Structure 1
């Protein structure tokens, strides 16, 4: 996997087809993501973060600019964890994971991922019997299972209560350490971003652009210490006043 180079010179929406009203969503957005980096995108609601992920995933191709995955011989595989878990209600947990495979699903891999996310005992249950936190864990497994070159995650822990979010975040972090992927993770939670990321990219209100690109200097084996997270957060807000209005 090579660097992901993103340059979006313009992304505009038509607000109403019967008028000439437009919304300028993104302008002159530039950044690079290195292989196996965990990058958190932080910005205000409605600034275009989900739109950007959809553009990277190829779901939205109506923009001016270029997204270069650095691959010349093949199209990189992309896993996507949406805000909504998007589980198929007529399939069990295990079947919702197996559905992403065109051929025989890898039993041992799926077993390992179920164990990592503490879902082995729930593998034959249907989504309606699962808590939201469990549904989100299934969605994470489904994205990891294909061993993607790039993993896109759009606020995967939104609407979870704080203890559940911490648990699922910890499980995700452990899984990523076992199987590092290039990750672009959208969040509005600065503490969550600091706990997970190698880099924090702060995005402005629309038209969206990069305001700050900051490395997280806390050692990986110290990310579980809330005092270190809070100290880094306080120093970040003090040293970068331009991001205060985004949170």
Structure 2
């Protein structure tokens, strides 16, 4: 089990199109995530959510501050689901999942995950034969397969149509209940965040700061009820008008 402690004083980077200019992405960002907590980071496009996930994953180490995870003597395993599924087109579904294992891949575990995500019958197909929703499910399986201490998910359902997104969210929620992990999930879809999260952290436009930090008190077995989601959303927007401009 791993908690995450984030204290970023400052994060800037040079703009790709103009090396003489810098972008101030994050300022004074301070929060913690407890073990097995599912946290959604909600904020406008371009506010720095992906940058933050890359920093947590260790892909970006150029910032002023500190990110700590778990105990000092334990280096946590991190799974990352990117916006793009990033499947190798010359490998089958099953082979794409097996790639994350240095040694022999655990066949029973992969079978169980494929079944949980309703992909067992598609395991020998190549990515080009899959819908985008199916590709995204493969990417989720690949991240879960390594049994990560921390799972980072960067808008994994973006560009899916509403019915497909609901189906994949439901499958993800079911899989997470079976195998709880500490999750940081980036989205700009408030209904999606409410359906999935224990906690919602609302982030400002860059330089990114926390605007509100809200607990979701809907029971997990009621998250399939869209009326419950909508009622919570209306209460949330009514009680916290400051978040309306962030969506």
TM-score (norm 1): 0.98
Matched residue, 2:241 = 241
Matched residue, 2:37 = 37
Matched residue, 1:214 = 214
Distance 2:19 2:62 in 1: 19
Distance 1:109 1:98 in 2: 11
Q: CA deviation at 1:2?
A: 3.6
Q: CA deviation at 1:127?
A: 0.3
Q: CA deviation at 1:15?
A: 2.2
Over 2 Å off, 4+ runs: 15-20
* Distance verdict in 2 for CA 1:16–1:107, change over 3 Å: closer
5+ residue gaps in structure 2?
none
Matched residue, 2:151 = 151
* Distance verdict in 2 for CA 1:206–1:224, change over 3 Å: same
Q: Secondary structure at the match of 2:194?
A: helix
Distance 1:224 1:103 in 2: 38
What is the CA deviation profile of residues 68-123 of structure 1, one whole-angstrom value per residue up to 9, with x for unaligned ones? 10322221000000000000000000000000000000000000000000000000
Q: Secondary structure at the match of 2:41?
A: strand
TM-score (norm 2): 0.98
What is the CA deviation profile of residues 3-27 of structure 1, one whole-angstrom value per residue up to 9, with x for unaligned ones? 2110110000112687542111000
Please tell me whether residue 70 in structure 1 is matched to residue 70 in structure 2: yes
Distance 2:32 2:177 in 1: 21
Q: Secondary structure at the match of 2:80?
A: strand
Stretch moving more, 142-151 or 219-228: 219-228
Q: CA deviation at 1:176?
A: 0.2
Distance 1:17 1:91 in 2: 35
Please tell me whether residue 100 in structure 1 is matched to residue 134 in structure 2: no
5+ residue gaps in structure 1?
none
Across the two proteins, how many residue pairs are aligned to each other?
247
Distance 1:75 1:159 in 2: 34
